[in-house]
Amino acid sequence: MTLIIREAIKTDMPCVYQLIKALARFEKEPEAVQITVNDLKDKGFGESPAFKCFVAEVNKKVEGIALVYPRYSTWKGVVLHLEDLIVSQNMRGLGIGTALLDKVIVYGKQQGAKRISWEVLDWNDPAIGFYKQKGACIMDDWKLVQLDEQGIKNYISKLN
């Protein structure tokens, strides 16, 4: 197996998109993906990219991705967020996720990130075990809060 971890280029985005869709199915929200391949091409490249994507290429095929962007912590300063770490279902257990995470952590350190954060579903025990083994902390006392697109509309309609 020839494994290469490298920065994604625009022509990787169709493969990246397929992995994002596969993760949404795994996370039981197959309809949740509203972006398109072109959105990834538009937002991930150019002068002010919204994210940076790394890909894992196995025998010249993209089999995994790690997608990150900076955040700002008012406690720590500039931090890095790992939005997605995805490996093709039939390629798990071969060290591809570890190789991608290694790349993310090294990149975060290079960028001066004081923390690297991500999110995980509480029933995804293999992922949680993997992250703990890597030294990450599961922050049990923090909850995510979201106002979705409809919620934003409802909120604004009540303001007027």
- Residues contributing to the site for its own copies (CB under 8 A): 20, 24, 29, 32-35, 39-40, 43, 48, 50-51, 67, 69-78, 81, 83-84, 102, 105-106, 108-109, 113-123, 128, 131, 134-149, 151-156, 159
Whether 18 and 88 have beta carbons less than 8 Å apart is answered as no
Instruction: Give min distance, CB of 83 to its own copies, in A.
Output: 6
DSSP annotation of 44 reads: S
Catalytic residue, chosen from 17, 107, 131, 155, is 131
Helix (H) or strand (E) holding 157: helix 149-159
What three-state secondary structure class fits 113?
coil
How many angstroms separate the CA atoms of 142 and 158, rounded? Answer: 29
How many angstroms separate the CA atoms of 120 and 154, rounded? Answer: 28
Give the N- to C-terminal CA distance of the chain in Å, as an integer. Answer: 60
Instruction: Give min distance, CB of 20 to its own copies, in A.
Output: 5
For its own copies, give the closer residue by CB, 37 or 94: 37
Two tokens, residue 75: 């406690």
For its own copies, give the closer residue by CB, 19 or 58: 19
For its own copies, give the closer residue by CB, 1 or 144: 144
How many angstroms separate the CA atoms of 85 and 98, rounded? Answer: 10
Instruction: Give min distance, CB of 59 to its own copies, in A.
Output: 24
Q: Is 72 a catalytic residue?
A: no
Q: What is the largest CA-CA distance in the chain?
A: 60
For its own copies, give the closer residue by CB, 59 or 122: 122
Instruction: Give min distance, CB of 46 to its own copies, in A.
Output: 13
Residues marked as catalytic? 131
